[in-house]
Amino acid sequence: MIQQVTGGVCAAKGFMASGVHCGIRKNKEKKDLGLIFSTVPAQAAAVYTTNLVKGAPLIVTKSHLLNGTAQAVICNSGNANTCNANGIEIAEQMSALTAQQLSIAPEDVVVASTGVIGQPLEIAPIAGGIPLLAESLTAEGSGEAAAAIMTTDTQKKEIAVTFSLGGKTCTLGGIAKGSGMIHPNMATMLVFLTTDAAISANMLQKALSTDVQSSFNMVSVDGDTSTNDMVTILANGLAGNPKITAEGADFTAFMEALNTVTVWLCRKIAGDGEGATKLLECKVTGATTEESAKKVAKSVICSSLTKAAMFGADANWGRVLCAIGYSGEAVDVTKVDVYFRSPKGIVFVCENGAGVPFSEEEAKKILLETEIEIIIDLKSGSGTATAWGCDLTYDYVKINGDYRT
């Protein structure tokens, strides 16, 4: 049984975290440097953005994880360390300075950055903050680290669950940041996961790479794929379960726990989109294949017109049909049913590709809620998928109109 627990990225045995303000960000009230540390070496896996423009930290981390092991994660906010002439050097220095404080090898450090692209990044404030960061490590530090990686996020995102493997209780937790420039094609934003389960690096990579296809790859806030998107997971094995080295019942159980955490984070990231007032969840059933369902769900969740309609609590279902039509899938539109649902109820708006009578007042009440489900039945097969997004508001333009200045 999977149970949610407190502790976030520090809930699993042997993990500590911290977060401090080192001076990258002008606002001294905002933390801008975070650290996660495993007291023992851990198996590690990661997925990275498919954007051809990649932040220097991703290049360095990919090199460090070639051996499938890591022991720490260092991340700064306020500057993405992307498109900088000395970006690789800065990322390597961050790793080396962190490793020195923790008495581990620089190659065992995952390094990440988030913030403005193309801005020079000085190592001085980071170098000055790392000693305090290391001293501040605690098993209760998940919230501090979660705060340190935020940019335009309005809330921290952290979760943990317990589950059983081979008769041993294991824990898996994580923190994430993500609010804008979110439209992944492999993973999304920055997500750091930790577990005390014993699992080989190869199976850990397989679990993560498989999971993101139905979790983080199904989130979109604004249609822009970030240069710094990365999801990493460390597994230190301290739970003492029989090590997972192949597929089987234990691997399936691990995948279920992982997906519980990632889907929770997906919903939090989508609901905290820049300027957002509503979490949108698009559920597609009846597709010819799962892949077809995914494309339809993502098409709807990415539709600017649909997102704007949801902001205005307007049951403009024609925009949903429009998005289905340009999804690229060979959908029989004469079979499509559409519903809108929220805690206030459900309204049936389209049957077999055509409108049906419904109360606009009742629909308005349903769509004024902060969590909206867009339910689509294609009635052509057994394929299903879910995607997450948010409404499109005036504030999104305000935030991104002066994000750099």
Residue 198 has φ and ψ, to the nearest 5°, of: -90, 120
Q: How far apart are CA 59 and CA 88, in angstroms?
A: 8
Tokens of 257: 């726990």
Cβ-contact 195, 203 below 8 angstroms: no
User: Which of 275, 200, 213, 284 shows the shortest CA–CA distance to 244?
Assistant: 200
> At residue 386, what is the residue type?
T
> At residue 98, what is the residue type?
T
Tokens of 84: 């900088």
Active-site option among 61, 98, 162, 188: 188
| Three-state DSSP class for residue 37 | strand
| Placement of tokens 């998928």 in the chain | 385
> Is-catalytic flag, 188?
yes
User: Which of 114, 68, 111 shows the shortest CA–CA distance to 234?
Assistant: 68
* Close Cβ partners of 103 (under 8 Å, ≥ 6 residues apart): none
Residue 391 has φ and ψ, to the nearest 5°, of: -75, 165
Cβ-contact 207, 42 below 8 angstroms: no
CA 125 from centre of chain = 27
Burial 362-380 (b: 16+ CB within 10 A, else e): ebeebbebeebbbbbbbeb
CA 104 from centre of chain = 28
| Three-state DSSP class for residue 222 | coil
Phi-psi region of 73 (alpha: psi -120 to 50; beta: other; left: phi over 0): beta
Cβ-contact 135, 17 below 8 angstroms: no
The secondary structure element, H or E, covering residue 103 is none
Length of the chain in residues, anyone?
A: 405
Residue 243 has what DSSP assignment? P
Cβ-contact 165, 251 below 8 angstroms: no
Task: Kindly list the catalytic residues.
Answer: 188
